Structure 1
Amino acid sequence: MYQYVLAIHIIFVVCWMAGLFYMVRLFIYHTEAQDKPEPARTILSDQFQIMERKLWWIIATPSMYFVIAAGVTMLYINPALWKMPWLHIKLLFVVGLIIYHFICQQKMKQMAKGVFKWTSTQLRLWNELATIILFAIVFLVVLKSTINWIFGVIGIILFSLIIMSAVKVYKYLREKK
């Protein structure tokens, strides 16, 4: 039974992450649409709101709840997992991802009201945070040991610096055009 629940957990993690990644991309495009002249701005904004709402309520949020339900079920089936130190750290990252999810939901609601507080560059950096959390969770689950986890953290920090640099280079190249 555990393996079936694990498979469901992994499938919905993929769906949830895809939803989060695409949602923030939509936020970026939605924000950039505000620089367009009318009527393009209104047409694009209306379309992005529809896409964001459907992605959020049909894919991202249900997937998050399935991930949580499957995770809790796995802990119920195999309570020995609670004794694993790596799991406690993983759960901290999962809580961070859930917080990230609800901050995205707040952003979606703000944009629907015409409030755009973050620039497209800030949103690009925000999008990379989910990637970093995903890397941390996967390394923790796969490696499980403290020594490997320390190397994993160092790797995540280096990966974060590379991603942030890539976003800055991309911004520079876009502005250069």
Structure 2
Amino acid sequence: MRRMLREWHWQRLKTPLAQLQLLVLDVDGVLTDGGLWLDPEGQLQKRFDVRDGLGLKLLQQAGIELALLSGGHGGATEARARQLNINHCLVGIQDKPPALKALQQRLGIAPNNTGFVGDDLNDLAVRRNVRLLLAPSDACGPIRRQADAVMHHKGGHGAVRELAERVLKARGIWTTLADQGWRDRNN
């Protein structure tokens, strides 16, 4: 029953997913599993899922602008953004709504065409600035309850890839990709 209800939520989001122009992602707990590794010199290291990376590339090729918006910093997020050609990597952001609003204004993209993926309480603050608030399955309870939909996958373990597939299905692109495969046309 719970799975059917979850799928119903996704079905009602087909139009907003198809109209998405900007997808903003928190990093820790969304693109990573939230774990932080420190090497002996105190340098921060994070683990990213390569399938999430491919999902982000697919969204870029579909014309969706991507941004990372994180309260953390340390270099790993910026490096991953460069690898994925994500031009908007906002780190060390303590107050997310003004940063998101400034990005939307700079890009000329309305909140109604913006989605945000977050996993914790500090991500709830952007709710009024986006049409879609989405969460990985292991997000904290308050964000799961207020999210428009919750992915089946956990943060750092395919949640972003799952969302990418749902967006591409809503746009009618997924079937061709699933049948013919994908080639990186950015290189």
Q: Would you say same fold, with TM above 0.5?
A: no
- Structure (1 or 2) with the greater strand fraction: 2
User: Shorter-chain TM-score: what band?
Assistant: under 0.3
What is the TM-score normalised by the length of structure 1?
0.27
- Structure (1 or 2) with the greater helix fraction: 1
Give the structure with higher Rg (CA).
1
